[in-house]
Amino acid sequence: MKMSPEFTKAQANMQPGEITADGFLGDDARPIVDIIADDEAEMEAIGVGFEQAAARMRHLMAEGRKGLEEPVTVDNQWIVRVSEARGFLPSPFEDGIFRKVNAEVELAPGGKPSGERILYSELGLHLFEKYHFMQGKGAPFRIEPAQLKRVLKL
């Protein structure tokens, strides 16, 4: 994939202090098209589809919201805590504005916490689903493909 003007502008918007204090790239200096291509290849190698993962993430976020910011057990497999802060965040691709909603999902077979978890936001889920962007290495909301597979049981 080539760094189109849209991706160049999005990468500039992902820098620390532009949309969020920490940004979306962590300490990853690669162009976002390379980050996306590498994550797509890893997701394919481990047999996880972006649509399948996004659907599970949406389900868990929706179920977690029912807990009103308290942890809830979902499907006897996960402990989910969804929190919401005031305000909104624009997409770095300038294709939407998203509430500040975060979901922490912990794998908990039979309701027993495993310590293995992922953290994602409403905006992060949009970037994952539409652009296959899982954020740069070292970013606070970075989702590693293998960890995603384990936690979501995909």
- The pLDDT tens digits of the residues spanning 18-68 come to 999 999 999 999 999 999 999 999 999 999 999 999 999 999 999 999 999
pLDDT at 79: 97
- The pLDDT tens digits of the residues spanning 63-105 come to 999 999 999 999 999 999 999 999 999 999 999 999 999 999 9
Determine phi and psi for 42, rounding to 5 degrees: -70, -40
pLDDT at 2: 81
